[in-house]
Structure 1
């Protein structure tokens, strides 16, 4: 229980990452056609238009991996104070958000790109705290 108190900030960040990324990945799995259909329209006037299913698939896999790493990171922080998996989850979450930011900027969805900022701040704070 001592590690829970010692690493509460890191655990809360990893819970945020877990909820954000695993839910997003599961949503993509449950509503593949809805997600890809919307994104095909979103990217229709960009050089990414023909790559939407591939991009969604890549993001889906990474989001699920991030969520699973966050679970493992929480466990290892509580059990033995090891932040390695939490750090990996935070780094991969940041990389995923940068990929999403790139897509939003290419699609000229500047408001959508801006909304990613809050998520990125939390994830980069996780990198900083667990590094």
Structure 2
């Protein structure tokens, strides 16, 4: 069996990045739901999202786990079959998740936090570009 690593080295590294970032974040949100919810309720207490925090936390948790899991499946499929279809959708879900987080930070007027999200968005968008 031939692994298609050398043909897809940049994509492989960026998929590993997405897997680490999104699985860790999604698992952390699920494992520490109460603490995250408490912090986010305070963070969004003066925003239009203040009454939707539990729902929005659930949505972003599912999105992050989805991005990570799709990226795992996509990485395996890319390395075994030289096909980036699943990886593309993992990167796409990652980008949408980051845009959701960016919107949240901007609405909460946490501009420093919003800048941090952009740091994560750039490699995710580059991965999306490489996989199309």
Shorter-chain TM-score: which interval? over 0.9
Alpha-carbon distance in structure 2 between the residues aligned to 1:86 and 1:105: 28
> Partners in 2 of 1:66 and 1:101 — Cα distance?
16
Q: Equivalent residue for 2:81?
A: 80
Provide the rounded CA distance (Å) in 1 between the counterparts of 2:19 and 2:10.
Answer: 14
The 3-state SS of whatever aligns with 1:3 is: coil
Q: Which residue of 2 aligns with 1:25?
A: 26
1:85-124 maps to which residues of 2 (within 5 A)?
Answer: 85-124=86-125
Query: Aligned residue pairs: how many?
Result: 131
CA displacement at 1:47 relative to structure 2: 1.1
What is the TM-score of this pair, normalised by structure 2?
A: 0.97
Q: Distance in 2 between matches of 1:55 and 1:114?
A: 20
What 5-or-longer segments of structure 1 have no aligned partner?
Answer: none
- Separation in structure 2 between the aligned mates of residue 106 and residue 78 of structure 1, nearest angstrom: 40
Counterpart of 2:47 in 1: which secondary structure?
Answer: coil
Deviations 1:16-72 (A, max 9, x none): 000000100100111000001000000000110011010000001111111110101
* Cα distance between partner residues in 2 of 1:123 and 1:20: 11
* 2:74–2:86 CA contact under 8 A, matched in 1: yes
| Aligned twin of 1:66 | 67
| Superposition misfits of 4+ residues, deviation over 4 angstroms | none
Query: For residues 51-62 of structure 1, what are the structure 2 equivalents within 5 Å?
Result: 51-62=52-63
The gaps in structure 2 that reach 5 residues or longer are none
CA shift for structure 1 position 2: 4.9
Q: How many angstroms does 1:118 deviate by? A: 1.2
